């Protein structure tokens, strides 16, 4: 698969998450590595993740306990959230962008180390490292927005090495949330339907997508979303592949569908949608259409469109 976040590392070692003493002891081992994250942005060192040891000064402000990610090459891997650190200079406008191009350099970072946007780094990181960073980002997203018990409202606490939250008041256990999303290539003959949402980078067009609602299958969600957004009825809906997408906590189910007509009726979810011929999409992919910028490399949308261009789907 030519998209990010779907690779495997050696093991998540889920059986070790409840072994608090063993994991605490592991932090003192020289081979153990910790990935710092700042407000969802992983620490990067060139085109790899910037792992550090547990006694690194960057981790002085990290929230505890660290998140246990599993093992790679026989070493335990953790992630640490240092979001309480405040850089001397912070471009808040950049942080709010679709893809944040700003970087943050911690004063104690190793030479060349910086916090960077995972959307921009995902296509360059080694596949297992991209998956590790996405997992850590998604879990910390969940912790940030689920600090109180949904059953009784009391403050909950982190448990199972970061993979659960427990309520000390009522005993309820809470688990990380993943939101299922369908993303679909809609075709009609030799043409592909692409759309864009307000707030996307200028000229960017991608496959249509939407959240799966309770009581829906992948197929019914595809048909509903396409109809709602463009007024098009679809048939021959097929599942192709899936991708974890930690922006913030989704699992993207890639599908294809055929439109029964080509008359587009936009709703207010899309800024634009248009039919493009295979030749026009190829021109976009090769950078010859500045008015139509393809989905970012590493995304399942980019992969699906590439597979359609190659005649594989």
Domain boundary among 90, 120, 145: 145
Kindly state whether residues 190 and 253 are assigned to the same domain: yes
Residue 239 lies in a domain: yes
**Mean local confidence (pLDDT), 181-192:** 97
Residue 151 lies in a domain: no
Long-range residue pairs from 219-225, CB within 8 A, at least 24 positions apart, any chain: 219/255, 221/182, 222/182, 222/184, 222/255, 222/257, 223/257, 225/182, 225/184
Kindly state whether residues 141 and 185 are assigned to the same domain: no
Residue 241 lies in a domain: yes
Kindly state whether residues 93 and 206 are assigned to the same domain: no
**Mean local confidence (pLDDT), 173-201:** 95
Cα–Cα nearest to 281, from 272, 267, 291: 291
Q: Tokens in use for 293?
A: 């910028």
Model pLDDT, residue 199: 85
Residue 166 lies in a domain: no
34-48, 65-79, 89-103, 198-212: segment of lowest average pLDDT: 89-103
Q: Which residue has the higher pLDDT, 94 or 51?
A: 51
Q: Is 182 exposed, middle or buried (0-12, 13-18, 19+ CB in 10 A)?
A: buried
Model pLDDT, residue 198: 87
As a whole number of angstroms, the distance between CA 281 and CA 254 comes to 18
In the chain, the percentage of residues whose pLDDT exceeds 70 is: 98
Q: Does residue 94 have a pLDDT over 70? A: no
Q: Does residue 184 have a pLDDT over 90? A: yes
Kindly state whether residues 97 and 205 are assigned to the same domain: no
As a whole number of angstroms, the distance between CA 248 and CA 204 comes to 20
Residue 7 lies in a domain: no
* Contact between residue 146 and residue 173 where contact means Cβ atoms under 8 Å apart: no
Kindly state whether residues 138 and 18 are assigned to the same domain: yes
Integer distance in angstroms from the first to the last C-alpha of the chain? 14
Kindly state whether residues 108 and 215 are assigned to the same domain: no
The sign one gets for the Cα dihedral 12, 13, 15, 18 is negative
Residue 159 lies in a domain: no
Kindly state whether residues 130 and 192 are assigned to the same domain: no
Q: Tokens in use for 230?
A: 């463009």
Q: Tell me the whole-structure pTM to 2 decimals.
A: 0.94
Model pLDDT, residue 1: 54
pLDDT digits (tens, 9 = 90+) for 111-155: 999 999 999 999 999 999 999 999 999 999 999 999 999 999 999
Domain boundary among 94, 128, 145: 145
Kindly state whether residues 29 and 139 are assigned to the same domain: yes
Domain boundary among 125, 145, 165: 145
SS3 of the chain: the string is: CCCCCCCCCCECCHHHCCCHHHHHHHCCCCCCEEEEEECCEEEEECCEECCECCCCHHHHHCCCCCEEEEEECCEEEEEEECCCCCCCCCCHHHHCCCCCCCCECCCCCCCCEEECCHHHHCCCCCHHHHHHHHHHHHHHHHHHHCCECCCCCCECEEEHHHCEEECCCCCCEECCCCEEEEEEEEEECCEEEEEECCCCCCCECECEEEECCCCCCHHHHHHHHHHHHHCCCEEEEEEEEEEEECCCCEEEEEEEEEECCCCCCCCCCCCEEEEEEHHHHHHHHCCCCCCCECCCCCCHHHHHHHHHHCCCC
Kindly state whether residues 18 and 133 are assigned to the same domain: yes
Kindly state whether residues 132 and 203 are assigned to the same domain: no
Residue 4 lies in a domain: no
CB atoms within 10 A of CB 187: 19
Residue 8 lies in a domain: no
CB atoms within 10 A of CB 229: 23
Model pLDDT, residue 227: 97
Number of domains in the chain: 2
pLDDT digits (tens, 9 = 90+) for 242-300: 999 999 999 999 999 999 999 999 998 899 999 999 999 999 988 898 899 989 999 99
Confidence at 93, pLDDT banded by 50, 70, 90: low
How many residues can be counted in the chain?
Answer: 313
Model pLDDT, residue 287: 87
Confidence at 100, pLDDT banded by 50, 70, 90: confident
Kindly state whether residues 229 and 301 are assigned to the same domain: yes
Kindly state whether residues 128 and 197 are assigned to the same domain: no
The boundaries of the domain holding residue 26 are 14-145
Q: Does residue 10 have a pLDDT over 90? A: yes
Kindly report the CATH number assigned to the domain that includes residue 295: 3.90.79.10
Cα–Cα nearest to 9, from 136, 98, 145: 136
In the chain, the percentage of residues whose pLDDT exceeds 90 is: 88
Phi, psi (rounded to 5 degrees) for 229:
-85, -30
């Amino acid at each position: 698969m030519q998209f990010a976040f779907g690779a495997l590392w050696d093991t998540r070692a889920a059986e070790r998450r409840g072994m608090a003493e063993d994991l605490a002891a592991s932090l003192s081992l020289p081979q153990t590595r910790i990935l710092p994250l700042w407000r969802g942005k992983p620490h990067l060192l060139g085109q790899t993740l910037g792992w550090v040891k547990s006694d690194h000064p960057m981790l002085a402000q990290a929230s505890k306990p660290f998140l246990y990610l599993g093992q790679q090459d026989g070493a335990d891997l953790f992630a640490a959230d240092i979001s309480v650190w405040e850089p001397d200079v912070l471009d808040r406008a950049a942080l709010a962008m679709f893809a944040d191009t700003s970087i943050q350099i911690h004063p104690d970072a190793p030479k060349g180390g910086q916090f960077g946007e995972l959307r921009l780094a995902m296509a360059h990181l080694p596949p297992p490292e991209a998956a590790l960073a996405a997992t850590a980002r998604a879990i910390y997203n969940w912790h940030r927005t689920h600090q109180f018990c949904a059953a009784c409202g009391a403050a909950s606490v982190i448990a199972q090495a970061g993979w659960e939250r427990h309520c000390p008041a009522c005993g309820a256990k809470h688990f990380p949330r993943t939101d299922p999303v369908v993303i679909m290539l809609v075709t009609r003959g030799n043409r592909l339907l692409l759309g864009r949402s307000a707030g996307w980078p200028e000229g960017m067009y991608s496959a249509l997508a939407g959240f799966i609602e309770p009581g829906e299958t992948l197929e019914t969600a595809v048909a509903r979303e396409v109809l709602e957004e463009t007024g098009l009825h679809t048939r021959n809906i097929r599942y192709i592949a899936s991708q974890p997408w930690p922006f913030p906590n989704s699992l993207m189910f890639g599908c294809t569908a055929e439109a029964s007509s080509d008359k587009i009726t936009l709703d207010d979810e899309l800024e634009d949608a248009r039919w493009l011929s295979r030749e026009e999409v190829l021109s976009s992919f090769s950078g010859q259409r500045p008015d139509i910028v393809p989905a970012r490399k590493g995304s399942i949308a980019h992969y699906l469109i590439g597979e359609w261009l190659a005649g594989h789907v």
